[in-house]
Structures are given as C-alpha cells and as structure tokens.
Structure 1
Amino acid sequence: MGEKERKMNKNKTMYLIRHCEATGQNEDAELTINGRKQAVKLADFLEEKNIQYILSSTYLRAYKSIQPLAERLQLPIHKDERLIERKLSDKNLDEWLLLLEKSFTNLDIVYEGGESSRQAMERGVTVIKECMYRKETTFAIVTHGNLLSLIWKYFDQTVCFKEWRELSNPDVLQVHFNQEKITVNRIWRNNM
C-alpha cells in the first residue's frame, strides 16, 4: 500500500444535494419563497447527520440552499466551481430534453458549446475523490440536477435519464464509502 492510499480515509459519508427550488437557471438565480422554506427543511433533515464539511456550487441557488444548515452547524461553505451545473450547449435548443436523454446513453456526445456527460461527471467526481483524502468523514455537497445524476451514474451505471427526471428540488443522495464497497441511497424522496 502506497503513501497516498494510507492517507486516504475510506470510511466516509457524503450527502449529495440538489439545490432547492429557484427562480431560474442563471448563475445568480435566487431561491423562490418555497425554495427558502425547503432550505430550512433541508437543514432540519441534515442537522443530525454529523456533517463536518460543506461544499457548494458557486451558483447562488446552491449556496442559499445549504446556508441555513451551515449557520446552524457554524461551518463555512466552501464554494467550488467544479460543482456548477453541466452545460448541455450554449445554444437555445428546442429539443434539449431529447438531447439530454441521449447524453445519458452516450456519455461522449458533445453539443455545440457544451460539455459531454463524461466531462461533467469527471469534474464532479474529482471533488468527491478529493474529499476522500480529507480528515473529515461526513460531507454535504450541493450541486445541480444534471451533475448530481451524472455523479450518481458514476457510482451506479444503471442510473439514466429516468432517475434525473425523478429528482426533486431539493433532493439528497447518501453515498457511503467503506473499505469493501460504495452504497448510494436516495434518502430525500419521501421527506417532502
């Protein structure tokens, strides 16, 4: 076992969180009134999970979704650009939903001005892998629906477009790493 492997703590729990309801898709889109209420419910739900480190997309709606929890736990929110939403294209695409669906089966499709599912997945998973080397054992990581589903797909290849469509705002996946295996459970589904 090399030095790098010895430094990696393999017993970790990560709560991957999709942001609460927002007013739009822009980087600076605020949470709706309902989204602000959801952020408080999200804090209620996560408060007893022993979260020690919080990471968030730089987008305002992600940051604001986790802010009530961070304030309760008196933890800083570490912003990371790698957690921003996947950019399907820089064009307005009428058939964007169909194109998104195709990108779940062909991870290497790139639409004009966008990034492939594989590229987005790799940048999101890099954040997860870096957490494996931190001393903390429990993390809250706030991102966006498409990127969240692609990170989920990395750990469970059966995840597809259907799982993305079923995600709610907010949503929470619990990813648990131990020495033998990785388990992923969607734990928010029945909370609302």
Structure 2
Amino acid sequence: MTTPPTEAAAVAVVYAIPVSIYLYRDLTWSTLSDVIWKSAQIAGVLMLLIFFATTLARLWTFEEVPQQIMAGLLAISSEPIILLLLINLMLIIIGMFMEDVSGILLGAPLLLPVAIQAGVDPIQFAAIMGVNLGMGLITPPTAPILYFAALIGRVGIGGMLAPTLVFVLFAYLPVVLITTFVPIVSLWLPTIVLGI
C-alpha cells in the first residue's frame, strides 16, 4: 500500500515537531506558533503564485501563445539541436525569475509543442525542464535557492556568488547538456519501470 504525498508530509510534520523541541532543542513550545504562522504565510504565497501561474498558462493556451512561440522558434531554425538550445535558454530565463512550480506551469504548455517538434520525448522534456529550472533557481538575478541557502548558512550572498557560478559552469551546465542531448539518461528508468 502506498502513502499519498500529502499524508506523508503530514506525518513528517507531526514527527518533526517533537524531534525539533526535545532532541535538537531548536524549537520551543512558545516559538511553535511563530513557526506555524510563518509556514502558513509561505504556503499562502505559494498557493497564490500557483493559482495565478495556472490562470496565466490557461490564458496563454486560449490565446494560442504556444503555437506563436513554436512558429517563432521554427522561424529561427528547424534544426533540432538549435531548437533544444533555445528551449534550454528560455527555461533557464524562466527559472531565474520564478520558482519551479510556477515555471513548470508556465513553461510546459509553451515549450512542449516545440520540444515534440524537435523529436524530444515528453518524459525527457520533463527532465530537461526540471534541470533547467533548478539551475535557474541558483542563478542571479533572483536566485531564490541561493538566498535561502545564505539564510541557513548565515553567509553573505557576495561570498556565495563566485563558488555558485563555478558550480553552475562546471557542474550544472554539463548536466543540462547531457540531459538534453543524451535521451537515455532521462528515459532509462521510465523504460524499466513503465516498459515504454
């Protein structure tokens, strides 16, 4: 029997509260209400972002924006390699300015037709989206994951920026290119599990 993600998250929260209070002693019963309030604020903001991103994605679909983007990209080049590089560039830019859920909701309906036109399997496109949006989350100007890591590590953004850009250049960028141009990397597990 499998546990749905929502129930698993609820169990994890119920487990984490006493562990944080009694084992790690980072949380007290008096500060628990502040933690719950801040968590509710963050969840509320994320829900609003998801709502508006979904609404915008549907509006773009009704206005045939994906078809216009596909026509524009195909006007630049019909070569699959160029199309995939353009898709990667657009996804990194989307990832730089919004978090991953909104990026997926906005980018998937816009770029999936172009990816299919370039001969990319939808499962591989999902992997390409995940890797690119993840890279965008640590890339300036907004870099929300970088700011979050700076808060946790109590380090200034200036001290993190140079190592992060080295990491992006020598670690993340090769992963993006491998995921994009070597389909077996993202398709081997679905092939084994789903038999596709």
Name the TM tier (shorter chain): under 0.3
Give the structure with the higher percent helix: 2
* Greater length-normalized contact order (CA 8 Å, ≥ 6 residues apart): 1
TM-score if structure 2 supplies the norm length? 0.27
Give the structure with higher Rg (CA): 2
Higher strand share: 1
